[in-house]
Every structure is written in C-alpha cells, then in structure tokens.
Amino acid sequence: MNRKQNIPFLTTRSLHPENQESPIHFLNEWLTSIKYFYRRNHFSYPLLSQRHFWIHIDGMVHKPRFFHYDEILSMPSKSIIVPLECAGNQRANFKPKVYGEQWEEGAISQGKWTGVPLRDILEKVGFSQNAQEIVFVGADSGKKPGVHENIPYTRSLPLEKAMHPDTLIAFQYNDKPINYKHGYPFRLIVPNWYAMASVKWLNTIKVIDYSYKGPFQTDDYVYYPYKDNDKDKFPVTTLNVNSIIQQPLHLSILNTGVHEINGMAWSGRGRIKELQVSFDKGKSWKNATVHQLSNQDYAWSRWSYIWKVEEKGEYTIYARAKDSSGQIQPHTPFWNRKGYGYNAVARITVKVE
Amino acid sequence: MNRKQNIPFLTTRSLHPENQESPIHFLNEWLTSIKYFYRRNHFSYPLLSQRHFWIHIDGMVHKPRFFHYDEILSMPSKSIIVPLECAGNQRANFKPKVYGEQWEEGAISQGKWTGVPLRDILEKVGFSQNAQEIVFVGADSGKKPGVHENIPYTRSLPLEKAMHPDTLIAFQYNDKPINYKHGYPFRLIVPNWYAMASVKWLNTIKVIDYSYKGPFQTDDYVYYPYKDNDKDKFPVTTLNVNSIIQQPLHLSILNTGVHEINGMAWSGRGRIKELQVSFDKGKSWKNATVHQLSNQDYAWSRWSYIWKVEEKGEYTIYARAKDSSGQIQPHTPFWNRKGYGYNAVARITVKVE
C-alpha cells in the first residue's frame, strides 16, 4: 500500500450558514485552489434558477435592462489576481474577546478573477449625473437578527469605487466558472476592500442618488470602537495592511538548526514594501525577503526569513508588514466590538529543543 | 441547482506527520464516521507489506510464533464501543500555554471496534509466570527529537491491563476493516486509557519481565507538573472524567428564546453519573439530561439541557461531569508541561441579542 499525500481541509466554524476557514498555514500557492477557498455566508445557499443568469440593472439609469450570462461573457473581460479577506479574519485574536465567528487566520483566499468591468456595463445603460452609489443585491436571503422579514444580502459602493476599472462583474475563478458556493454565475469583485463588498450570486444592480442604509453596512461591517455604545462608529471598507506567519506554527516544537520562517502579507492601500521580523518583541527588526507577482497590484506577497537557531529555549517571533502608502501593522490591534479588521503585528512563540 | 448538505471537515493541526482533529462540535453520532475520526501520528504512515499481516509474538512465551490475519479473524471476537481520546486533547486550553500540537476539543472519536481479546492470543502461546509487561510495536517508525536512530512506535501495558477481556487486537472499525490511516490491519484497543496505548499497525507483541522504558512512555505521555524540572512526574494512563459543550459554540451570538445546550461526557474511571450546568460560574448547578447507550461500559454519554433565555446580555455557561467512581471535573485544570489530560470544567460564553 502506498503512502498517500496528506492533505489539509477547510476548518469548520459553522454549518448553518456555512462558514469554513482556509487551512492557510498549510498552503503556499499564489492562487488558492477552489476547494481551499474559505466559505463565508450570511444565509443558506440560494436556490438558483434561470433568472439568476440575468443581471438586472435599474434605478437612475437611462435604459434599465437585463444582461444575460452569454452577453456578459461576450464582452471584453479582464483577469486580476485578488485576495478576498473577510472583515472578521483573525477575530479570534482580539482581547478582550468579541462575539461572532471565531475566524483565526484563514478567512482569506486569493485567486484569478475574470470578468467584465462594472463600468463597462454601467456605461452601456447610462446613468444620471445625480448618481451617488450603486447597490448590489445577491440571490442569497434569509433572516437577520433584529430584522423582521427575509432580506437578501445587499451592499452598496460609492460611485467612484464602482467605476474603478478593476471593479469587476466576475464569471470565472482560476479560469473556470465560479464555483456555486462562491457566487456562480456572477460575483462582484471589489479589489482592496474587505470581501463583504464582493457580493456573491450577484443578481440586481441599482443606481441610486442617496446613501444606502442596508443592515450589512449600517449594522454589520461597521467599526464600533466601544463595547457599550455606538459612538465614533465608521464603516468597514479598505483592507488594512496585514501579514501572517504561516510556518512555523505557534507553540510548535523545533529542533536546533536552520528553519525557514515564512508567511504572507497584503494591504488594500498599496503594495507591500517591507516585511520585518523581530526576535526581541519589537525592539529590533530584521528584513525578510519579500516575493511578489509582477504586474499584480492587488496580490498578496509571500515572505521568508532564514533563521539559524543553535540555542535551546523559547523564542517569540514577530512579523510586520509595511505598504507603499506608509501604513505599518500596529503593535496593538484596533479593538472594536464586532471584531473587524484585525491587523496587529503577527506573533508566534516556539520552543527549540 | 439543489442545495447540498453542508458538511464539516477535519481540522488540520499538522501534515508531516498528519495530525487532524475531528469536527466534534458538528457531530452528534454515537459512532464517529471514519472520515471524521481524528488522526494523530508520531511518524509518517508506514509502508505496509505482507509481513504486516502477521503478528509476531515472542519474549517470555512458551511458543513464540506468528499469527496470520486469517487466523485472527477466525478466532472468537467481540465488539465494543470505545472512545479513543488523545492524551493531548484540549491542550490548547491550558494557561500558561504549553508547546505541542494545539488540539482543541476534537482529539477524540468513538466507534465500534471488533477484535480478538489479547488474552486469548496470549493464552494460546502461554507465558512465563515472571511476565510483568507486554510490549506492543507498531509498523510506523521515524526520528524522535533526542533519539538518534529511527525508532518504531512502541508502548507497553502492565500484565493486568493487557489481560483484561476487553483489551483487543482489533481488525474492524464500525464493521469494516480498520482504515489504513487508523491502523490497518491490526490496532490494539485499550479501553479506558488515553489513545497512545492503542497502538496502530500492531505488528509485534513481546512479553517481558521488567518495566519497559521506551520514549513514548518515559519521555512523552508523562505528566510533568513543573515547567523547569521533572520532579513528581508520573505516566499518563487512564482517561480523566471529562465533558465538552458542543453547542452552542463559544462566543456565538444567539437570539432570545429556547436553546438546547448539548455535549458529551466520558470517563475512564466509570460511567457518567451526572452532568451539571451552571449559569453563575459554578455557584449553583443544575442537572442536564444524560443519554447513554445501554450495555456499553466505555461509550461516551451525550447530554442536553433546555435553556430558555429572555433577557439579552452575555452569559457564561459551565458544564461538568461526575462519574460512578466519584470523580468530578475540576474547576482548575492540572497544568503539566507537556499538556496532557486537560479536563477542567467546560466553559463557553455567548451573547444573546
């Protein structure tokens, strides 16, 4: 009997709705295989029918109409490599603890999304000069605590972000039709924003001249800095500069010798410029080697550092990324009541025996 | 397109060797399906050959010999439902943190093991009156930190435990040949002991008149009460009385109304007699309903408690089991350097909105 390759699995956080984490510490691909793409749902999966192959565009447009799947596939498309990260990624790291799905570090996955720029579709229908936001409705719906009727998953984008040439109506992931669980037939892809903006099973697009107030942007996906009141709240949008240490694992036991410390780093505010590691809890920092895909502005970077350790003992290792906009991971995370946007310095402790 | 059932996966802790946790919070079967049985290995999987279908018995026996797979299958067999729990299960709960695989609550699985009592085999070969221990050698081998050559996984049992009528040389799990990753063709099954005693890919059995000192019982699988010295160490053997809360999940958000709190409880020292829950951090306790399989002395119990909650807020829920030998889960775990036998009162906090 032959040895088989040992393979990782998604880590289950909940089943109804399905929320499963990517086994990020055991993956080193640039493009996450669809089977390892994290799954994050607010509702049960939608029952799809023929009408989901038509995207309806209405609101303040000159010619409201439907676009069929075939028509969208016949339009000029582009492909971009984009990491999608759940705003709640690393929520489990907050202290004090916050309620909600206890995502560790795997609510992030990256792949090649292919689609038609949303602006091309909007230009086909034309829209009012008073347009302020574009609203996106997914085919998934259900009950949300505090809301009485069934509601579909709905989010808006400011016009400027919607018109960015890389905001796509995607129909392929890694050169295949998007997997059912990840939004087939259409998923909005909004580079640089947390993934709640990248609406799955996209079905309706509406142009509006006001500020949309749906619960997925006025209740959830809002930073609440205080435990007991909503003062100073502001919406979750752009990915914070962030990194993780993939290997070695936290609290693992290593031999003396040479080890590669490695991980990933990413930001919604620019390219990763620097990844530093510290062995003295941040007093001094050393540069790691940063590996990047050329011509991919959004893709995560991978980094590595060769560590030679001869003395037995316990070691704490920090890693922090800096991006081209000058943002750097903070020592202390920005605690917020719903646990979004964790991006404090990555930390592990290992024992060398 | 139809909705598919959402299914959980094993949680990956490491791949080389393979260590994966059962998604215990999402399972409610009495018999763990083999695909959800946790995987715990010290080495890579063994390459099996014809010789692994022969168990060799030697040492202080009257007639050293080999038993072929077919011969063992032709002997009278018995089936018992046994939970196997890794001694490091719940290691991640220790504070201060301990090094090693960070098992949460899923390094435990239960099923129906069918095999021949080891005593029947030992009686066939006869053994010396001076016999003290029986040594079991698995087909898996490799390097262990601190040991120079490759060593096979090897453990011993005291004669009395080895001769217990329910200590089995098992060849079936849930009525099928044991899965390759779980010990095919033979696994020793030692009810009531932590699972390091239930040697997989069992290949050699040796009767000895001394105390075996292999590293898997003198270095690993030893309780070390102190961080910096080995004083007062003692071996890991019997399962501590223990329980978990499976649902609701720690740090989850619930609606007001009626919820079932449920989980499992087990002990290597007797049957579960009582499962109590507390909503005031252990000041007062209420009895949960305990469900048990009849005629199964080793099987875990399942428990449930109907909780009606009308007031919004944060709630801490404790659960503790008591067994028929009078053992009860402690408030504070017995911290030990290698992180074995965690069995403190189970605790979750939930938010009701």
- How much is the ipTM here? 0.94
**Residues of chain A contacting B352 with CB distance shorter than 8 Å:** none
The answer on A248 and A134 residing in a single domain is no
Smallest CA–CA distance from B50 into chain A, residue: A1
Looking at residue A5, its pLDDT comes to 84
Q: What is the structure's pLDDT at A209?
A: 98
Instruction: List the single residue in B12, B44, B99 with the smallest CB-CB distance to A252.
Output: B99
Close Cβ partners of A194 (under 8 Å, ≥ 6 residues apart): A85, A86, A87, A221, A236, A237, A238, A239, A268, A340, A341
User: Quick check: is A1 in a domain?
Assistant: no
pTM for the structure as a whole: 0.95
pLDDT tens string B12-42? 999 999 999 999 999 999 999 999 999 999 9
Q: Which residues have a Cβ under 8 Å from the Cβ of B70 and sit 6 or more positions away? A: none
Q: Does A256 touch chain B (CB under 8 A)?
A: no
**Where a domain ends, among A192, A215, A235?**
A235
One domain for residues A194 and A249: no
Using CA atoms, how far residue B104 sits from B12, B88, B92, B100, B267, in Å, is: 11, 9, 5, 12, 18
Q: Which residues pair with A137 in a beta bridge?
A: A154, A204
Q: What pLDDT, on the 0 to 100 scale, is given for residue B83?
A: 98
pLDDT digits (tens, 9 = 90+) for B235-270: 999 999 999 999 999 999 999 999 999 999 999 999
- Domain span at residue B113 reads 11-211
Residues of chain A short of pLDDT 50, as ranges, are 1-2
Mark which of A202, A235, A268 sits at the end of a domain: A235
Q: How far apart are the first and last CA of chain A?
A: 34
End-to-end CA distance of chain B: 34
Residue A142: list chain B partners with CB under 8 A.
Answer: none
**Domains in chain B: how many in total?**
2
Mark which residues 290-319 of B lie under 8 Å from A by CB.
none
Domain assignment present for residue B66? The answer is yes
Give the mean model confidence (pLDDT) for residues B103-128: 98
Contact B12 A11 (CB under 8 A): yes
Indicate whether A3 belongs to any domain. Answer: no
Residue A34 lies in a domain: yes
Q: A180 and A264 share a domain?
A: no
What percent of chain A has a predicted confidence (pLDDT) above 70?
99
Do the Cβ atoms of B98 and A255 come within 8 Å? no
Q: Does A1 touch chain B (CB under 8 A)?
A: yes
Do residues A83 and A299 make contact, with C-beta atoms less than 8 angstroms apart? yes
Q: Are strands B313-323 and A65-68 parallel, antiparallel or unpaired?
A: unpaired
What's chain B's average pLDDT? 97
The pLDDT of residue B1: 45
The answer as to whether A5 is a domain residue is no
In this structure, what CATH number is given to the domain that contains residue A204?
3.90.420.10
Q: Which 3 state secondary structure label does DSSP give A240?
A: coil
Residue A271's identity, in one-letter code, is: R
Flag whether pLDDT at B2 surpasses 70: no
**Is A65 in the same domain as A128?**
yes
Q: How many angstroms separate the CA of residue A321 from the nearest CA in chain B?
A: 26
Confidence of residue B144 (pLDDT cuts 50, 70, 90): confident
In a domain, A114, yes or no: yes
Phi, psi of A195 (to 5 degrees): -75, -10
B58 occurs within a structural domain: yes
CATH number (domain holding residue A248): 2.60.40.650
Instruction: Say whether both A134 and A226 belong to one domain.
Output: yes
Pairing of strands A253-254, A346-352: parallel
- Distance in angstroms (rounded) separating the CA atoms of residues B282 and B288: 14
- Same domain? A217 vs A284: no
Claim to verify: residue B44 and residue B185 sit in the same structural domain: yes
The Cα of A294 is separated from the nearest Cα of chain B by a number of Å equal to: 31
The string of pLDDT tens digits covering residues B81-97 is 999 999 999 999 999 99
A230 and A330, same domain (yes or no): no
**For residue B80, what pLDDT is reported?**
98
Place of tokens 């800096």: A322
Tell me, yes or no, whether A28 and A85 share the same domain: yes
Residues of A with Cβ-Cβ distance to B12 under 8 angstroms: 8-9, 11, 23, 25-26
How many pairs of residues across A and B have Cβ atoms under 8 Å apart?
Answer: 91
CA dist A1 and B155 (Å) reads: 25
Beta-strand pair B202-208/B54-59 = parallel
Predicted local distance difference test score (pLDDT) of residue B4: 65
Please tell me whether residues B248 and B170 are part of one structural domain: no
Task: Judge whether A125 lies within some domain.
Answer: yes
Same domain, A231 and A253: no
CA distance B5 to chain A (A): 9
The verdict on B157 and B270 lying in the same domain is no
pLDDT at B291: 98
Contact B165, B119 (CB under 8 A): yes
